[in-house]
Amino acid sequence: PQIVPDEKDWTWVLDRPSPECGYDASDHPRERLGKGIRRNALRWRPLLDRPLSDRRPRPDQWSALEYGAHVRDVYTICLGRLQTMLAEDDPTFANWDQDATAVEQDYAAQDPFQVARDLESAAIAFAEAYDAIEDTQWSRTGMRSDGARFTIESFGRYVLHDPVHHVWDVEQGYDALEGRPA
């Protein structure tokens, strides 16, 4: 079976903690977003170095490798969106079909070592961009193609949830693959 596309609007994580992964946007002050991004990036190499990184816990759930490739692309795409928010007034971002990207780039067949390296590089670039935000820039805005509006500050908190949540997804997946109860 194919992965069921995630069509949820995850912007709610800006208003309340995630009951699954525990992410709380209020725990991430804007001055520490870069640090939070770097801290999360360090979690991925050990997850992708495991022997079962290319195995799906269920046929309809991504493997650690697929999640890692997705997170790498999240950082890359969101860096571009952040740069656009800094350069343009209230831009609207093109839709990104993450599920189509996973198929087109064959996430499942990528090299876990290379994915880990590329994820770390993309995370560092995104973190450095957040470290360089000036006080007058935090309120600049941008809009997703579905109408969700962000400031640079809320965008950073929103984006950080994705890799944090996917670490949780991967850990749950490994528990299932290794026969441990969730």
Closest CA to 163 of 33, 25, 63, 37: 37
Q: What is the mean pLDDT of residues 144-157?
A: 96
Q: Could you tell me the pTM of the whole model?
A: 0.94
Give the per-residue pLDDT at 2: 63
Q: Which helix or strand (DSSP H or E) is residue 174 part of?
A: helix 152-177
Gap between the Cα atoms of 106 and 51, Å rounded: 19
Q: What is the mean pLDDT of residues 131-152?
A: 96
**Residues 161 and 39 sit within 8 Å (Cβ to Cβ):** no
Residue 28 predicted with pLDDT over 90: yes
Closest CA to 173 of 41, 71, 9, 47: 47
Give the per-residue pLDDT at 180: 82
Helix (H, G, I), strand (E, B) or coil at 79: helix
Helix (H, G, I), strand (E, B) or coil at 141: strand
Give the per-residue pLDDT at 6: 67
**Residues 81 and 155 sit within 8 Å (Cβ to Cβ):** yes
**Can you read off the two tokens belonging to residue 173?**
């997946």
Predicted confidence band of residue 10 (pLDDT cuts 50, 70, 90): confident
**Residues 113 and 48 sit within 8 Å (Cβ to Cβ):** yes
Average pLDDT, the chain: 94
Q: What is the mean pLDDT of residues 127-155?
A: 97
Residue with tokens 């991004």: 37
Q: What is the helix, strand, coil percentage profile of the chain, to 5?
A: 60, 5, 35
